[in-house]
Amino acid sequence: MDTIELLRNRRTIRKYSEQPVSDEMLRELLEVAFRAPTTGGMQLYSVIVTRNHEMKQKLSPLHFNQPTVVSAPVVLTFCADYNRFVKWCEASNATPGYDNFASFTTAMIDALLVAQQFNTAAEAVGLGCCYLGTTTYNAPQIADVLQLPRRVVPVTTLTVGFPVDMPQQVERLPIDAIIHNELYNDYSVEDIHRCYEEKELLPTNKRFVEENGKETLAQVFTDVRYTRKDNEYFSRIWRDFIAAQGFE
């Protein structure tokens, strides 16, 4: 399969076979991932590799007990990391000025680029991956379990293994809903309905609406999945933790 077809057909994999991921394969894939673009060549990221079952058990509740955390052969926590770079600066008679939000954002982007490059490389050799968005929700507790020092913040997690099967591909909005030529063309109400019509008509999504007693699919997102209350709660945790880790 060529690269374009690989990317076009990608799926999130949550169920894995018992086939192990060798240290050699994992190390090679991480080395490939570390060739991802990075701001100024600083490589402001670290990756915590979790294979130990007891460690997975500790991480599992922090990811809302998603079964994939324990069942996956490998769990990778990608961290924005200024700790290493700042220590290098200090040991080299240079004065670092990276205790700010702009610096944190730079490191977070670096870490996410590495995570996605790993994901693509892993799928190219037959592995499957699942991103866990719960990493930022419980970042303080994850940092405690993984013993992350100051200036290191977990930003995303990938579970990795050989797929048991290939699940159905999740829908995406039509391409014309997302592309803007030259300038941002804002959406009319008619445009919005056209963008989301296919998504709303899918049997699975119609079932979600019915099961949750809602009138529209949008209400499933706003009232059930990603509520204002939850967003504000986790925002406070995330903001306070970023500051506590040294990024004011």
Is 179 a member of any domain? no
We report the CATH number of the domain holding residue 149 as 3.40.109.10
Is 73 a member of any domain? yes
CB contact at 8 A, 45 and 80? yes
Provide Rg for the chain, Cα atoms. 20
CB contact at 8 A, 137 and 155? no
Is 226 a member of any domain? no
The residue written with tokens 């500790």 in the block is 58
Structural domains counted in the chain: 1
Is 245 a member of any domain? no
Q: What is the DSSP letter of 188?
A: P
Is 239 a member of any domain? no
Predicted confidence at residue 1, as pLDDT, reads 66
CB contact at 8 A, 217 and 200? yes
Is 209 a member of any domain? no
Is 186 a member of any domain? no
Q: Could you list the mean pLDDT of each consecutive 10-residue stretch along the chain, which spans 248 residues?
A: 89 96 98 97 98 98 98 98 98 98 98 98 97 97 98 98 93 96 97 97 96 97 97 97 96
**CA atoms of 131 and 153, how far apart (whole Å):** 17
Predicted confidence at residue 191, as pLDDT, reads 97
Predicted confidence at residue 2, as pLDDT, reads 87
Predicted confidence at residue 248, as pLDDT, reads 85
Q: Give the Cα-Cα-Cα angle 130, 77, 91 (nearest 5 degrees).
A: 155
| φ/ψ (deg, to 5) at 96 | -75, 145
Closest CA to 82 of 151, 140, 34: 151
Is 212 a member of any domain? no
Q: Domain of 89?
A: 3-166
CB contact at 8 A, 159 and 68? yes
Q: What is the DSSP letter of 180?
A: -
